A and B are shown apart, each in its own frame.
Chain A
Amino acid sequence: MDFTLSKKHEMARALFREFAEKEVKPLAQEVDETEVFPRETVEKMAKAGFMGIPIPKEYGGQGCDILTYAMCVEELSKVCGTTGVIVSAHTSLCCDPILTYGTEEQKQKYLPDLAAGKKIGAFGLTEPGAGTDAQGQQTKAVLDGDEWVLNGSKIFITNGKEADVYVIFAVTGIVEKRGRKVKEISAFIVEKGTPGFDFGTKEKKMGIRGSSTYELIFTDCRIPKENLLGALGKGFAIAMHTLDGGRIGIAAQALGLGEGALERTIEYTKERKQFGKAIAGFQNTQFQLADMATKAQAAQLLVYKAACKKDQYQKDHKTAYGVEAAMAKLYASEMAMEVTTKAVQLHGGYGYTREYDVERMMRDAKITEIYEGTSEVQRMVISADLLK
């Protein structure tokens, strides 16, 4: 086992880091304060190829692996959690299911613009009554001639109003399974601008405030029959498989937030003087930093392992990575919350002010324990595998 990154991964990391420092970091505080989607940054990322990292070249992507994509989200999130999740939701939750389940026509139609960042992607599964319990879906899709008619709403949708292409889940029937009636869910591709597809309220969030989080409303929204994604009735499996991949992106975001907070805290504790010396000179600070760094490193190994497993899956379509993804997300998100909280503590009163990045990072970190499967869901996934 060799823990050394290859030359190409080292170069990619250097690229992401340089971009994050030059283009993203200077805007992070403003994006948080104003809650404005960083459109210009997304355009710059599109130009640099960041919006299509794991998409094959034949569909206009960069043809890189999941590890490279995870490192991109990690480096962006070190300086701005909002920018990290924009790339993650776009790539993992929209591009990936189209790549995995789309017909050749759907891939040719949607992926080149998504991979080039000319269009942004989003994913709509969650509903007011269906979060962790995805079976609680109320949004319905009914086939009427050559069109599906969608009715219902989705909430907490990342990239909500800024996206152009949406992967949406809806109930397409009721089927009997083991003597019980269960909802049959299917996946669809819906484009912005389709009549009957509208936006509801914008969420006022604790963190990742620049990411556009909206309610999506479908009122007799008619989409072409061929916009069904994957097989009819296989939507739940598509959603779960997509979230397995999405968790690697969110784990990478959490990892970046923790690492970013650690970097800021190391700098700060070397400068901040109390009782006549830098607070880095006190053993409490040293031990806290040691714990933070060790946990961040452990999280990185889990995230990279899950990413490499998914890479293996992309090649053989056999390797399972769901448990590794769940472990990576569970550990990285809890690490991010712990490390950012300690970072604020080590910054003292200044850390509680919006002048210092760690305050924003602590708020940003919280969501990583919740979205794309709460920590509790990750524990369910992991334990189900242990006890099967």
Chain B
Amino acid sequence: MKIVVCIKQVPDTKGGVKFNPDGTLDRAAMMTIMNPDDKAGLEAALRLKDQYGAEVTVITMGLPKAEDVLREAMAMGADKAILVTDRVLGGADTWATSQTLAGAIRNLEYDLIITGRQAIDGDTAQVGPQISEHLNIPVISYAQDIKVDGNSVIVERQYDDRYHVVKAQMPCLITALGELNVPRYMTPGGIFDACEAEITVWGRADLVDVEDSNLGLKGSPTQIAKASDKVRKGAGEVVNLDPTEAVDYIVGKLKDKHII
């Protein structure tokens, strides 16, 4: 089985968020981590590899420094890594990103593509399903459990209060929830190997069946007007009342603010 896992290097919010003067994220200046949902997707792929045997390829689109997240994935157990980087791909929204990744994945053989549900820097949850559309394969989103059954996958698709069990024939794409699993640690030996390993670097010229008009900032229908850090909330108010009084107190407050 061949599995492709799409991962993204995202800002580590613990290290503080920095912006460019034009309001976009200054990714080069921020501490970074592997997007948590993507890491869960990678762990799911590695578990399938442990269980059934598989070749796991990780792919990311980003700045050259996104190589770090690929090496981390290899230190966890991924077999191959591909970095898609090119100045013309910069400023991509979800549409241009999914076009780029689909264009890169067309070079690869795969049975399964796994992406995280969404990235913590954009929270759109669009890239995974869009890739499946471009590649014309089924998508199962919000996976909380993945099993392989012959040429099919059986996935528990999470809803708030229930889950659906969905079966799809491979090749298909699955988007993984962070809650899917607890990702393994890298191993020291894995780190040493990953730092020696070759990473395939692709640019615009390597993308298959993608129009220039669908790439980078120019190919992005979404234009970011302004981005900002989380607004700090006030300290709030703590009151100690019995439940009946507490309900009256809260309702009173909501009425004061004309919320109800």
Contact = CB atoms under 8 A, between A and B. Distances in A.
A284 B72 CA distance: 43
Nearest to A22: B185
B188 A68 contact: yes
Given A7-B195, A11-B195, A49 B184 contact: no
Given A11-B71, A11-B75, A18 B185 contact: yes
Given A7-B195, A11-B75, A50 B189 contact: no
A61 interface: yes
Query: Which among B71, B72, B75, B189 has the highest number of chain A CB atoms within 10 Å?
Result: B189
B192 interface: yes
A320 interface: no
Contact of A19 (B71, B72, B185, B195): B185
B190 interface: yes
B187 A8 contact: no
Contacts of A7: 71, 195
A8 B185 contact: no
Contact of B188 (A6, A47, A50): A50
B188 A62 contact: yes
12 contacts: A7-B71, A8-B191, A8-B192, A11-B186, A15-B185, A15-B188, A47-B184, A49-B187, A50-B188, A53-B189, A64-B191, A72-B188
Given A11-B71, A11-B72, A11-B75, A63 B189 contact: yes
A18 B75 CA distance: 15
A350 B193 CA distance: 46
A57 B188 CA distance: 12
B189 A49 contact: yes
Interface in A29-76: 47-50, 53, 57, 61-64, 68, 72
A50 B191 CA distance: 12
Interface of B: 71-72, 75, 184-192, 194-195
Given A64-B188, A64-B191, 19 more contacts: A7-B71, A8-B191, A8-B192, A8-B195, A11-B72, A11-B191, A15-B186, A15-B188, A47-B184, A48-B184, A48-B185, A48-B187, A49-B190, A53-B188, A57-B189, A61-B189, A62-B187, A62-B188, A68-B192
A12 interface: yes
Contacts of A11: 71-72, 75, 186, 191, 194-195
Contacts of A8: 191-192, 194-195
Contacts of B195: 6-8, 11
Interface string A1-32: 00000111001100100110000000000000
A63 B185 CA distance: 17
A7 B197 CA distance: 13
B153 to A, nearest CB: 26
Contacts of A12: 188, 191-192
A167 B187 CA distance: 27
A63 B184 contact: no
Contacts of A68: 188, 192
Nearest to B196: A8
A7 B192 CA distance: 9
A47 B182 CA distance: 13
A257 to B, nearest CB: 22
Given A7-B195, A8-B195, A62 B189 contact: yes
A15 B191 contact: yes
A47 B184 CA distance: 9
| Most chain B beta-carbon neighbours within 10 Å: one of A47, A57, A64, A72 | A64
A15 B189 CA distance: 12
A64 B192 contact: yes
Most chain A beta-carbon contacts within 10 A, residue among B71, B187, B195: B187
A49 B71 CA distance: 17
A15 B186 CA distance: 7
A277 to B, nearest CB: 22
Nearest to A72: B188
Contacts of B194: 8, 11
A44 to B, nearest CB: 8
A53 B75 CA distance: 14
B71 to A, nearest CB: 7
Nearest to B185: A48
A63 B192 contact: yes
A237 B192 CA distance: 32
Contacts of A50: 188
Which 8 pairs between the two chains have the least Cβ-Cβ distance? A62-B189, A49-B187, A8-B195, A48-B185, A62-B188, A11-B191, A64-B188, A15-B186
Specify which of A11, A50, A57 lies most central, judged by the most chain B CB atoms within 10 Å of its CB: A11
Nearest to A15: B186
A46 B192 CA distance: 17
A53 B187 CA distance: 9
A62 B192 contact: yes
A63 B191 CA distance: 10
Nearest to A62: B189
Nearest to A56: B189
Contacts of B75: 11, 15
Interface in A63-94: 63-64, 68, 72
B181 to A, nearest CB: 14
Instruction: Name, among A7, A8, A48, A50, the residue most crowded by chain B CB atoms within 10 Å (CB to CB).
Output: A8
B56 to A, nearest CB: 18
Interface string A84-125: 000000000000000000000000000000000000000000
B15 to A, nearest CB: 13
Nearest to A50: B188
